[in-house]
Amino acid sequence: MSIIDLKMFLRDLKSIVNIESYSYDPQGKAQVINFLREKFHALNWHIEEYPLDSSVGSALVCMNRKVDAFDVLLSGHMDTVFKIGTTKTRPFSEDGKRAYGPGVCDMKQGLIQAYHVCRLLTENNEIGEGNICVIFNPDEEISSIYSRPLLEKLAAKSRYAIILEPARANGNLVNERKGVGKYILEFFGKEAHAAVNPEAGANAINACIETCQMLLAQVKPEKGNMLNIGTIEGGTTPNTVPAYAKIQIDCRFISALESERLDALIQNLHGKITKQGVRIGVAGGITRPPWAKTKNGLAFCAEVDQIKQRLGIQADWASTGGASDGNFFAALGVPTIDGMGIVGGRQHSPEEYLEIDSIIPRTTLLYETVKFCLSK
């Protein structure tokens, strides 16, 4: 017998997918909050809304009772990468095998999954003296720049944390993620005629190229690092010494030591004047700390492995370069698992999908995992 009503789950999923919730659409996320508030209010849970910034809106926190410490924190983000108007041209749909729509996988499914598990635990009186906290934040797709303090505050009060990002397309869960650093480097030189008096100028693009070469030489892939120079701009005409250049850099790293080394390397460039007289400006920094495997984290994984085996679910553990809010929790030492949502794929694209036949088994896995957290 199924622990949830699949038709009800899909009906809720359709409703929330068809609510626009682009990261910079606070009005859309206010509608998502109203939808979720109504659901959890019906369970008689304690509900708090936290206004964060006018550009993104609020976070919603739901607890089975108002307390200051939790057995488990469930985390899901309300925002998607899809601009306003996408649901009008591409609303929720399903074909019996897969469900489609903006954010259906990343991660509207996790919001509905969290509610249905909490509803089941509440209706079955299985929470007992345990304490569950669920946070729905509005800005994960933009690095949780406004909700991070609240996320970390709640995680620090929790014994376990579960991130409801979708399972990998092959069904795997996640127990390690690289940290992220994002930087903008600007180079300020001086214009001059490139053929008549180049010595009167200071070539910003040359300084940019030399800096890029230096940075790339400092990357250590064998230690799990990556540095990608993703955009570059500058210059005016081929016969003018360029006075300005700009690059954007994305760094990934698996160890705290390497993240600190690369961050210091880049930050120390700020204000530097090259031999050619080009000044360098640096903005940005580490946006998510690395999530490395720990003894307590692996012990949590082992408990989930036992639950998977009991349920007959085949899924391994994956390490990924993509980051999530789980990075914040794991960096605080909280045993954390990720990818506990429904199986899906092609996130951030028009082909994004969710495997319908994975809804019941993966929701059952989450349900049993939360029960484990409550029992410890």
**Three-state SS at 163:** strand
46 φ, ψ (degrees, to nearest 5): -80, 130
Quick one: which of 70, 154, 141, 152 has its CA closest to 108?
A: 141
Length of the chain: 376
Q: Distance between CA 307 and CA 338 in Å, rounded?
A: 15
CB proximity list for 209: less than 8 A, separation 6 or greater: none
Q: Distance between CA 339 and CA 113 in Å, rounded?
A: 12
172 φ, ψ (degrees, to nearest 5): -70, 155
Inter-residue contact 281 to 185 (CB < 8 Å): yes
Q: 113: exposed, middle or buried (C-beta count within 10 Å: 0-12, 13-18, 19+)? A: buried
Residue corresponding to tokens 């309300």: 78
Catalytic residue ranges: 79, 140
How many CB atoms within 10 Å of residue 376? 11
Q: What is the DSSP string of 33-57?
A: HHHHHHHHHHTT-EEEEEEEETTTE
Q: Dihedral through CA 245, CA 246, CA 252, CA 256, nearest 10? A: 90
Q: Distance between CA 235 and CA 268 in Å, rounded?
A: 25
Inter-residue contact 120 to 260 (CB < 8 Å): no
